[in-house]
Chains A and B, each alone.
Chain A
Amino acid sequence: MSEFFGFLLSGVTVGFIYALVGIGFTVIYNSSGIINFSQGEFVMAGGMSTVFLLKAGLPLGVSFILAIMITSMIGIVLYKLISFSKESSQISLIILTLGFAIFLRGLAEVVFDKELHTIPSFVGDGSFDMFGTTLTYQSILIMIVSIVIVTLLYFFFKKTKTGQAMMAASINVDAARLMGINIKKILMINFALSATIAAIGGILLTPITSTNYEVGIMLGLKGFAAAIIGGLSNPFGAVVGGLVLGILESLIAGYVSSEYKDAVAFVVMLGILFFMPGGIFGNTKAQRV
């Protein structure tokens, strides 16, 4: 039984990371109907920037803030590119964001390098022993920060004027425009917000799993699966989706085969797409074409 809790705990930690990536997908999809295939690269950008800012001798706090700012700028650049595009068919937008992901990976190779990097845990190397396993302080930090981010997002969308404007825009663009909401600005904020969340995920993750220029590929895809499981248009669904994935992965790795754990996310995703395309928190917006 202690083994079970051990797997569960390590699954929850990873699950929160998937959740953070997944939320990023939903924030952009909700406002623009675009699936951003460079979401994973935002995560990479956050982690790698932090590593190299720290290497340059900047203090921890400054590095975090700069890394987040850099990543949100990247998000805005992507938005600008999309708005430049002459055509907005889904295929060309998918390929544009895929191209942007490749571009970011290439940029990271040049600006940083191709090596694997790690940074010390922000809260010390200590850990709690529980259920026959250990829970590092860094894992606990990841859980706390994720919960805080989700809570803040909730209040942002429900209580603030900008947040409500963003919700309105996502429900009906034309109506929102008529009401005097600046759609372009809203979209830009969404891209920046999504990149910010991804960057935070990337930074938190680095002490545990290390980072390199291509770490974003798999993370992006898993986060994406998390978003689908949760229903794609629902940020809070993505959190549940991420946790479900993280825990399932860990249990499969523990009891069935550690080699097939990466396949779990996609098998679950296909199941959801085939049998409940709206996700477990399905709503009408999922039918959006």
Chain B
Amino acid sequence: MLKKIGLSILAFLFVSSFMILSAGTIRIGAIVSATGPASFLGDPELKTLQHYVKKINDAGGVDGQKIKLIAYDTSGSPKKAVTFVKRLISQDKVVAIIGPSTTGETMAVIKFVQRAKIPLISMAGAVAIIKPVKKYVFKMVATDRMACKRIMQDLKKRKLTNLALISGSGGFGRSMRKQCKVVAPSYGIKIVADETYGKKDTDMTTQLLKIKNNKKVQAVLNPGFGQGPAIVTKNYRQLKIKQPLYQSHGVASKKFIEMAGKAANGVRLVSPPVIVADKLPDSNPIKKVALAYKNEYEKTFHTQVASFGGHAYDSLYAIVTAIKAEKSTNPQKIRDGIENLKNFQGVDGIVNMSPTDHLGLDTKTGMVMLDIKNGDWVIVK
């Protein structure tokens, strides 16, 4: 009995080992959270990657070599992200990895790419990913710290000095909550309430009731992504809380407006500029790339662009640019190439990497404030 089972397992291992490696392709791995609570992020990212990889290959590839994209869906689970990163490294033999989509997943996989010496460009928000600098880890997405600063500026301008936080307990929410608490005092803003909710919670009434009953609160900020902020927004309106509600760049997608419905109207949020690319002034240096991406995405997928897809676009082209610059598909060379990116025009902004800065994003172009009015974005002047 045991013998038989043992033999059939061995036979399986033997047969499946022939499936590996075809030459002349650049194997790029992607780990995205395409389904589940973080599908807001992963879905447009995956679509973008697949579309532009095809586009690059149709145009002859990178220096004559086709790209093979190997993408896995983690549905937002750090455990799955770890398994898939290991799989990409040892089984699929990729030369670079794009993703994961969320902070928690990224923090979980860093150790493994560092050990395997494979460059990784994360699409998540937290500043902790690239600070302190890790040799093989990059990201080009605006950090939560930048987002916090932008929001505090806006609060200061409106003279709202007493802020309540209601944060998601996942990596993104936790990190942004921490960053906002750090930067708040330098804008003269006090955190007067600090509530949290769980990743899969479906009702935040209790936390909001406490905020509602706190007389000091002048404005509320909700760091989080996915379904949480939509529920917070709905509950917020149900409880008829009057103070202005701020959301993070974690909700910068039409999906949020869909989920929160009418309740979304009146929400103010900080966002990468791509979702309003058409409304940017022509003087904005990223308008050209951002608008081209927005139009192509919307034409191809018949749905409104989300900022997260832009992260995928930037990551993919950063790797392509690095390969071209170094004339090599060696992971080590690709890493060097990414670190040497100068004046790289991305959807999210202009990027100048260096050995001490693995973010390289220009802060001035990185973030805009938006209001949601009648289910659409309006740039705050």
Residues of A contacting B240 in the complex (Cβ-Cβ under 8 angstroms): 129, 134
Contact across chains for B239 and A116 when beta carbons are under 8 A apart: no
Interface of A is mostly: helix
Residues of A contacting B196 in the complex (Cβ-Cβ under 8 angstroms): 258-259
Residues of B contacting A218 in the complex (Cβ-Cβ under 8 angstroms): 200
Total A-B pairs, Cβ < 8 A: 63
Residues of B contacting A151 in the complex (Cβ-Cβ under 8 angstroms): none
Residues of A contacting B205 in the complex (Cβ-Cβ under 8 angstroms): 10
A interface bracket (residues with beta carbon within 8 Å of B):
20 to 34
Given A116-B37, A262-B198, A3:B203 Cβ within 8 A: no
Residue-by-residue, is B195-236 near A (CB-CB < 8 Å gives 1, otherwise 0)?
111101011011101100100000000000001001100000
A93 adjacent to chain B (CB < 8 Å)? no
Residues of B contacting A2 in the complex (Cβ-Cβ under 8 angstroms): 213
Contact across chains for B209 and A136 when beta carbons are under 8 A apart: no
Task: Give the complex CA separation of A218 and B213 in angstroms.
Answer: 29
Task: Give the complex CA separation of A127 and B261 in angstroms.
Answer: 17
Residues of B contacting A254 in the complex (Cβ-Cβ under 8 angstroms): 206, 209-210
Contact across chains for A7 and B198 when beta carbons are under 8 A apart: no
Complex partner residue of A133 from B35, B169, B239, CB under 8 angstroms? B239
Residues of A contacting B238 in the complex (Cβ-Cβ under 8 angstroms): 127, 134, 136
Contact across chains for A133 and B209 when beta carbons are under 8 A apart: yes
Output the nearest chain B residue to A218 by Cβ-Cβ distance: B200
Residues of A contacting B262 in the complex (Cβ-Cβ under 8 angstroms): 125
Residues of A contacting B227 in the complex (Cβ-Cβ under 8 angstroms): 116, 210
Contact across chains for B206 and A10 when beta carbons are under 8 A apart: yes
Q: How many chain B residues touch A (Cβ–Cβ < 8 Å)?
A: 28
A135 to B: closest C-beta gap in Å? 10
Residues of A contacting B37 in the complex (Cβ-Cβ under 8 angstroms): 116
A6 adjacent to chain B (CB < 8 Å)? yes
Q: Which of A116, A208, A209 has the largest count of B CB atoms less than 10 A from its CB?
A: A116
Residues of A contacting B230 in the complex (Cβ-Cβ under 8 angstroms): 116
Residues of A contacting B210 in the complex (Cβ-Cβ under 8 angstroms): 3, 254
A41 to B: closest C-beta gap in Å? 16
Output the nearest chain B residue to A211 by Cβ-Cβ distance: B202
Given A3-B213, A116-B259, A14:B203 Cβ within 8 A: yes
Contact across chains for B209 and A3 when beta carbons are under 8 A apart: yes
Task: Give the complex CA separation of A215 and B240 in angstroms.
Answer: 27
Residues of B contacting A174 in the complex (Cβ-Cβ under 8 angstroms): none
Known A114-B35, A115-B35, A118-B261; further 11 A-B contacts with Cβ < 8 A: A10-B209, A113-B35, A114-B36, A116-B230, A134-B238, A209-B202, A209-B203, A210-B231, A210-B259, A250-B206, A258-B206
6 nearest A-B pairs in the assembled complex, by CB-CB distance? A209-B202, A114-B35, A253-B206, A116-B227, A10-B205, A6-B209
